[in-house]
Structure 1
Amino acid sequence: MTLSRIWSGFIIVAITVACVKCFFFGETEILSWMVIGKADDPTNLTKVDGIIQTCWTAVELCIKLIGILALFMGFMSIAERAGGIRLLSRIVGPFFSKLFPEIPKGHPSMGHMIMNFSANLLGLDNAATPFGLKAMESLQELNPSKDTASNSQLMFLCLHAAGLSLIPVSVIAIRASQNASDPTDVFIPCLIVTFVGTMAAMTIVSIKQKINLFQPVIIGWIASISILIAVMVVYITTLNADGIKSFSGLLSNGLILLVFLLIVLGGLYKKIDVFDAFIDGAKNGFETAVKIIPYLVGMLVAISMLRTSGTFDVVILGIKNAFAFFGADTRFVEALPTALIRPLSGGAARGMMVDTMTAYGADSFASKLSGIFQGAADTTFYVIAVYFGSVSIKNTRYAVGAMLLADLVGVCTAIGLAYLFFG
């Protein structure tokens, strides 16, 4: 019901703002923009599509997902038959059994979740989505109420949406392309923000589900992960932009190939029909991709209407005027478009970041803060639509509120870090 009200609110607000602009401010073209989009303009870096084009985009995105989902779910099927997922579940079981008390010991969903978190950590979006959808499918098997999100699904999705990521490669690459003097200067703030956001998401959901986070196992795992991240941060800070890009590519792509190799070798060792297992999993990936099309179309259309109507411009202007009225520093407001649209669309947020760098310079405070926003968290509403849609969850309970609250913590942390690191 919460998601239904938010979706309805997006559409109502977007149309209301567009009508006010059209009939009171003479911007008659805005209604056409909302339906058919803006005309191509090479200088318009934040160009948005209209409703019709957005529908096509959603379907095209799902078509592209079919191949990715088929590939990774095929390999996941081999790993499951060979017992690899259960082995991984037993390894992470002591930690996950505390965060996910409703999941039986050794259940495959634990292995699927750790694969998803690992892919996110390395910035492997193409791998993270199939692993995450498989995790949701496994958790749905344990869900007593099939149309209502379970506690375990809520915890998993909030942690996933927090987007703990080690290296914001795309942000660094874009900053380098815009001739920033030090493209990697946002690396540490991005990592800190995603870590704080993840801890915030974990804390918020744990309070709601009455989970005690001060258990030795949880503290030990978090401390171990923190130390591992710190060691890698120390090493990465010694590299330049090209070195970071090379290291990230070697680490992430090398691990993917290693996982594929280990899965196939494990399947052969267990003497299972690896190709038959792959095909069964790939079929499941195809069905999942088709299933999420309606959810994706609905969410992307509502987001497109918000952007095209100029609603974000109205919100940004209001925030800037409010802080200016109290005499506060308003430099951070120039980067807020990226933060506001990040939960709605990763591609649109990327466009906002580029637009900020073009307007204020790649080395400006606003551009650096915009880069931190882009490198932090995931696209909240996309995650909700796709992941819950894949298992036909209608009642998302407090998922939206918990994710947005964690996003807010991340935004505030990002602003504070930007002033700390960049003045």
Structure 2
Amino acid sequence: MVGVIPVIATVRILGTNALQNERARADSALRAELQAASQELGQLGDDAANRADDLARSPTVQHAFIAHDRATIKRIAADSPGVLFYLGRTRVAGTRPPVALSRSISLTVNGHRVGTVVATIALNHKLAARLRQAASHAQDDRLLIVHERTVVGTGQHVQLRGHTVEIGKQSYRGLLTRVPNAVGISLFALRPNETINASVQPYRRRIFYAALGSFALLVLVALMFARPILNTLGDFRRVASQAATDALTGLANRRSFDDELALEWRRAERVGDSLALLLIDLDNFKSINDELGHQAGDAVLKRVAAILDSGARQVDLAARYGGEEFALLTPETDIVGARKLAERLRSALEAATIKLPNGTEVSVTASFGVAVKGELEHAEQLVTAADEALYEAKRNGKNRVVMADPRPDAAAATTA
């Protein structure tokens, strides 16, 4: 399942990028449509201005305005659709469209305005269709004239949010431009979002099937190579474990102990914690091997290791130090705690009954040499002090705990 996540993420990213690219292409096309429509509308405005100017320059129109000849003005207006005629401020002829652009020319006599000729361009759905035809466009594209958020010709309300334009229940990708010299009037070029999404769908399907094929290939490769890889990792873990563990007892081996001692010594030096070491040697172990055999000796070593390991804390390290000798490294333990721990383990070993492979049972004892970091300067000194205390325990009768003096170069040891 983990392999599915990057595949799904890739499909989504590529799909999103494709949609963004398609929107950018739509924006470019809509921008071109607006530019062409604006140019066409500008040309219509120029034509209207020329028509108004031509009428204003006509001697007949000028004479009618000066004479206030309303009948003549109305006759001229009948032959000039879309043109309004004003005497002073009063419109005497022509009908103004509901929404329109206008170009006007004033007639003056001796600096006084006597009349105005206004040529209009009706802004309606017919004009919108004409402007749409002025530029190349996609089949579903729309070009609308909007007056104060209302579509001219239909009366539909326009909602604008960024590049999203909503008209009724339809959502569009849209751009707009203001119409010059026309308050509240804009041109909208629109493309349905549905059309944009539909144009991306074939690409999205190709991405999906490509990703699906990639995932299938990934699964196939995983099935082919997973077992060898897992086997290799398992072998690596076993080798690493064997390198750090004593094969017979399952405790840490001498190499692992030496590494841990170096680490704990540095930590104790850095934070100022105490550190204790217990060296344990089985008493008269050679006689067990000689009289009962090496299998019996191995059984004793395993049982002793289990007792030591169960009596230690999780932060302690129990190790087989060599032969019948064991070590227990106890961080954050002072001389009092180390003595109590050693005595508890000594008593546990003395009380234990060990069952041998041949069905017989034996008991063993052990001697303990205990040293604490104290004023010692090197980890080797800690080992030496514990070893000397262990030797003292052996010399003084075995099955006992001897504490090393924590002072450097001290030869004294105390028996617990």
Q: TM-score range by the shorter chain?
A: under 0.3
Where is the strand percentage greater, Structure 1 or Structure 2? 2
Give the TM-score taking structure 1 as reference length: 0.17
Larger relative contact order, structure 1 or 2 (CA cutoff 8 Å, min sep 6): 1
Give the TM-score taking structure 2 as reference length: 0.18
The structure with more radius of gyration: 2
Where is the helix percentage greater, Structure 1 or Structure 2? 1
